[in-house]
Structure 1
Amino acid sequence: MAEAELPDPPSQGIIGYLKMVGPGVILGSLAIGSGEWILFPALVVKYGPYLLWAALLSAIIQAVVAVESLKYTIYCGQPIHKAYQRLPPNPMTWAWIWTLLIIIPVVWPGWAMSSATALAALQLGRLPGPQDSYLVLAWGLFALTVGLLVIHVGRKIQRTLEIVSWPLLILLLATIIVGVAFSASPSAWATVLSGFAGFLRPRLGFPPRDQINWFIVSAAIAYIPAGFGFNLFMSSYARDKGWGMGSKIGYISGLIGGRKVELKTEEMPFNVDDPENLRRWRGWLKVARLDSYLFFSGLTMITLILTTVMTYSLLVPRGLAPTGFKVAAAQAKALSEVLGGLAWIIVLLGGFWVLFDNQWGLMDSVGRTVADNFWFASERIKRWAKNDPRRIYYLTVYLIYGVAVIIMVLSTVFKIARPYELAATGAVLGLFALMIAPILQLIVSNRILPKPLRPGIVSNIIMIIGAVFYGFLITAMCLQMFAGITI
């Protein structure tokens, strides 16, 4: 690998940093979804806020793993999956492993169906029932198709997603802040925030054995801040954004408005013995940390706290403990006692914005994961794609779209699963990627990265905790579901 000079980081100051952030904004917009709006608030009204500490731990773990993955891109230009392919047994095996780890959880179209539930409720003036299932299906297909169209446009798909994500993130936060301002009581704030110390309670704040449903608990925590190992996608967005040595590698362009761009497969590391390069490295590391800690995990946790306070204020005093999208409907009904009919629109629009951008973000993330992995792993696939990664990317996206449509239709016609169940299923399946990611990142960061760029003891400990934490959730859930043993 030929060594090169690391490009200058953005200029110091807010304006300079804001010009370069983006991967965290995309992931932050994508991360704020079913977990923050539906699954975790439903968990709180059922069991209390005592697992808020677990959500915070999950957010910290994923932010640290995200920073470590971004360091690899800044160092040599390639996404983190390229580093994983340098590990045994071989690149193609890892390409298939990550393809399955990502596609299997994401193919369940719970986000499109949940956003469709919000649109149908706005149209009907009430929460849709079984008799309205085909209306929900129609809106779901509409949301899924619009999401598909979004990722066709732009010179860089990453830039298109960034442009769309900023206003959606602002709209989402504005909607939630309005709801909280009119609903939250000081006592609700105090009770919810006490959940950060929930680990001091019996069983670390987890519900009693005779009450706990590990499927629900694991699904709620798995989505905070993003499930499926989505924090790793930030490294792919960082390459396309041109962070560090990523500016010398190339990017995935849009089908409409883009052009064929050379996407290099080899790393282009900078010389770590050059003091000037290390000075620039520290500047880029500030950008990575800002994007990961603030825009990715930080905004997700702020949103989670706000939605949890709103849910707790509106539902617990009324003795309500709904599940699924009924959480949003119950909040809207309770808030309407204060704001009138406007509350129905505020809460449901919030639910729609939260869940709508999830679907196209998921399709893009899966498409770029598959495209990157097989682009690195197979010269034969590169030849088939005629050296254009868009052929792999869009083939994957169309397959995801097609399978999602089939699942949506079958689940509606044969009443196989509701939107909530689809979203929760995707969450728990994504736990396997969340458990594996910290383990692999520990190896890459401490073996492949040069010594001056390796993580400190705190980051290493957090990644070890991450592997144990997600592994525990998987074990507890599987024991209860398949062996009838409740921890």
Structure 2
Amino acid sequence: MDSSHPESGDTAASTGSGTERPHIPAQRPAPSTEAGTNPPSTPTDTAGTAGSAPEEEERFWKAGRLEQMPIRRLPKAPPSIHILGPTVFLVALGVGMGESYMWPRLVLVFGPEIRWLFLVGVTLQAVVMLEMSRYAMATGESIFYGAARVFKPLMWFFFATAILVYIWPGHLSAGASAFERVTGIPWQLTAVTGMLLVGVVFTFAKVIYNLLENLLSICIGLLVVGSAVIAAIVGNLSDLTSTLTGMFAFGYFPAEASTALWFPVIVGSIAFAGPSGMQQMWYTLHLRDKGAGMGAHIPQIRGLRHAGEQETMPSRGFMFDTSDPEEMEKWKGWRRWVSFDALVLFWGITMLVTISFTVLAQSAARFDPNVTELLRGGDRNAALDAMAASFSAAGSPVLGTVFFCFIALIGLNATLGLFDSFSRGQADMTFNFVPGAKKIGMSKLYAIFLWGLIAFGICILLFGPADGPAAILDVLAFLSAFAMGAYCVVLLLVNNITLPKPIRPGIFSNAIIAFAAVFYLGALFYSLFAFGVVID
């Protein structure tokens, strides 16, 4: 999909740019008579610009007690098959220590048959991705705004959770630690430099989304190709076969996996099969900035240096006429577009990378038979060390260096995605629901949260424990996993209450999301009450 962003549907002039955003004529939807839906209301004002022909009376869609959504035309969907898109953000956030570290560790201890749980986890995430996109593409609003339409405290829960969970610079610290092994440069110096560099790049970017999509696409391409090459060098056909067949060993769960030592690890690994915590929720904001569906009517966020060029942000999203067959046909086109994203780009790329790292883990077990016992003894770094040693043994010590460079790249990917996503999400909620925030503007709010995150991270890296106090981490891990179950519940409420009936999810989709909510929350609370610990 082209990275250019369609113009806004609002008639307000662009502030600071000197150009007027063209008006998109409103449509008159047929009044809704379905039970459980809100018929469009008719306000007293009309849409139009000076000197234009008389236009139809503007119509609105009412969802919850918040501001109604004006009816606008849905843009035509691009071709379903594409390469670039907002999925790169989820892949960058999802292909992290879970895929490269947590699951290889489980394979070393329990064998490749344990990977059926990964298949369940990443497939649930793909369905969640599809349902998150439903609301975002239909309205141009984030899922946070949708939660506020149902019940405002739901949104504020996620606002607080984001601050508690994502201000700790864990991903960047892990990547910097791997880089230290390669260069000898202290990881604190690399991490601080990396955070400042990310802040400067985002500050000077004209349109943040376009820059970040291109950067992450390059990084993900290197990661996918590089991990596959590494696996091909050190693995063999037997490793690949057992990795693939292990994904379908449904029901395999050895007795040791049910112990207090490993059950929380497995719960955490399932939660981190793909993006975890609030990363799926932030995806709705990236869809909007990409111009997907009704997000075409919302301006993109600009970097702080170009904040004066920021177009006027509407205070609510838009809805299209779901009674118009032509509009519904375009809607089906957008659903095909995002389905390709979810099933091919997200599910496929995530699976490919984890297959590569699983093959690498099995080759590591052959090279160092003691690695399994080291892991059972609590040596968390044993898996990465063994995989690096295996790679070196397959060629030369230089290859071990290349492996750690890939771990550093994973940390960089996650940092770019997390810093942008956190700032974008907090700015969105603040702009829409904190009195007086609209006067500051979306771009400046984004910059405030971005540099606040960077300042806190630097303080923690230089003056405190990089991962935070252990007692706090237990709470944060709980909140991260709890957020996943909670956003599944919110998805069910938002999509089935605030959207018109023709575009609500079907029974099958609702059943999967409900199962995901029970699955995440049930496993988390069982781990908490049975073993006194949460995810690890």
Q: Indicate conservation of the 8 Å contact 1:63/1:231, yes or no.
A: no
Deviation at 1:459, TM superposition (A): 1.1
Deviation at 1:378, TM superposition (A): 2.8
TM-superposed CA distance for 1:424, in Å, is 9.3
The match for 1:393 among 446, 455, 458 is 446
2:159 counterpart residue number: 99
Q: Contact 2:169/2:467 (CA < 8 Å) preserved in 1? A: no
Q: Of residues 272, 280, 283 in structure 2, which corresponds to 1:231? A: 280
Instruction: Describe how 1:259-408 pairs up with structure 2 within 5 A.
Output: 259-315=309-365, 318-319=368-369, 320-321=371-372, 322=375, 323-383=379-439, 385=440, 388-408=441-461
Q: 1:231 to 1:151 in 2, by over 3 A?
A: same
Q: For the Cα contact (< 8 Å) 1:315–1:330, is it kept in 2?
A: yes
| Aligned with residue 222 of structure 2, among 162, 171, 182 | 171
Q: Which residue of 1 aligns with 2:522?
A: 472
**So what's the TM-score if we normalise by structure 2?**
0.80
Q: Distance in 1 between the 2:522 and 2:289 partners?
A: 35
Runs of 5+ consecutive residues of structure 1 not aligned to the other structure: 125-131
The structure-2 alpha-carbon separation of the partners of 1:410 and 1:50, relative to structure 1 and needing over 3 Å to count, comes to: farther
1:138 and 2:138 are equivalent in the alignment = no
Kept in 1, the 8 Å contact 2:195–2:454? The answer is yes
Structure 2 vs 1, CA of residues 448 and 325 (structure 1 numbering), >3 Å: closer, same or farther?
Answer: same
Q: Is the 8 A contact 1:38 1:324 kept in 2?
A: no
2:142 to 56, 79, 84: 79
Task: Give the secondary-structure state (helix, strand or coil) at the position aligned to 2:203.
Answer: coil
Q: Deviations over 1:141-183 (max 9, x none)?
A: 2222223233223222111110101110111112211110111
Q: Structure 1, residues 343-366: CA drift from partner, whole Å, max 9, x if none? A: 112211111111112112111111
Q: Does 2:200 correspond to 1:149? A: yes
Q: 1:159 & 1:423 partners in 2: Cα distance? A: 34
Note the residue ranges of structure 2 that are not aligned, 5 or more in a row: 1-59, 61-69
Distance of aligned partners of 1:291 and 1:267 in 2 relative to their CA distance in 1, 3 Å threshold? same
1:256 to 302, 305, 321: 305
Q: Is the 8 A contact 1:27 1:296 kept in 2?
A: yes
Q: Which amino acid aligns with 1:115?
A: G
Match of 2:262 in 1: 213
In structure 1, give the amino acid aligned to 2:229: V
Q: For 1:59, give the aligned amino acid.
A: V
Q: Which amino acid aligns with 2:71?
A: E
Q: Deviations over 1:13-64 (max 9, x none)?
A: 64xx34xx41101221222111111222122213333332222222122221
Deviation at 1:271, TM superposition (A): 0.4
**CA distance in 1: counterparts of 2:80 and 2:113, whole angstroms:** 38
Task: State the one-letter code of the partner of 1:58.
Answer: G
| Residue 369 of structure 1: how far off its partner (Å) | 0.9
Q: Distance in 2 between matches of 1:285 and 1:161?
A: 24
Superposed counterparts of 1:115-126, under 5 Å? 115-124=175-184
Structure 1: how far apart are the matches of 2:164 and 2:531?
Answer: 19
Quote the offset at 1:326 in angstroms. Answer: 4.2
Task: Give the percent of matched residue pairs that are identical in Structure 1 and Structure 2.
Answer: 24
Q: Describe the shift of the 1:210–1:266 C-alpha distance in structure 2 as closer, same or farther (beyond 3 A).
A: closer
Q: Which moved more, 1:316-325 or 1:435-444?
A: 316-325
Contact 1:52 1:195 in 2 (8 A): yes
Call closer, same or farther: CA 1:409–1:218 in 2, change over 3 Å. Answer: farther
* More moved, 285-294 vs 48-57: 48-57
Aligned match of 1:7:
75
TM-aligned CA distance change 1:146 to 1:422, over 3 Å: farther
The DSSP-based 3-state class of the residue aligned with 2:305 is coil
Tell me, yes or no, if the aligned pair for 2:169 and 2:466 is still in contact at 8 Å. Answer: no
* C-alpha contact (below 8 Å) 2:285/2:424 kept by paired residues: yes
Q: Deviations over 1:195-254 (max 9, x none)?
A: 3234323xx457343464333223322221011131122211111111121111222111
Distance 2:427 2:467 in 1: 34
For the Cα contact (< 8 Å) 2:257–2:263, is it kept in 1?
no
- CA shift at 1:80, angstroms? 1.7
Return closer, same or farther for 1:219/1:62 CA change in 2, 3 Å cut-off.
Answer: same
The 1-side partners of 2:392 and 2:513 are apart by 44
Residue type matched to 1:313 in 2?
S
C-alpha separation in 2, matches of 1:368 and 1:483: 32
Paired residues of 2:73 and 2:320 also in contact (CA < 8 A): yes
1:58-92 deviation per Cα after TM superposition (whole angstroms, max 9, x unaligned): 2122221221221222212112211111112x3xx
Report 1:50-89 matches (<5 A).
50-88=113-151
The aligned counterpart of 1:128 is: none
Deviation at 1:473, TM superposition (A): 2.6
Instruction: Identify the structure with bigger relative contact order (alpha carbons < 8 Å, sequence gap 6+).
Output: 1
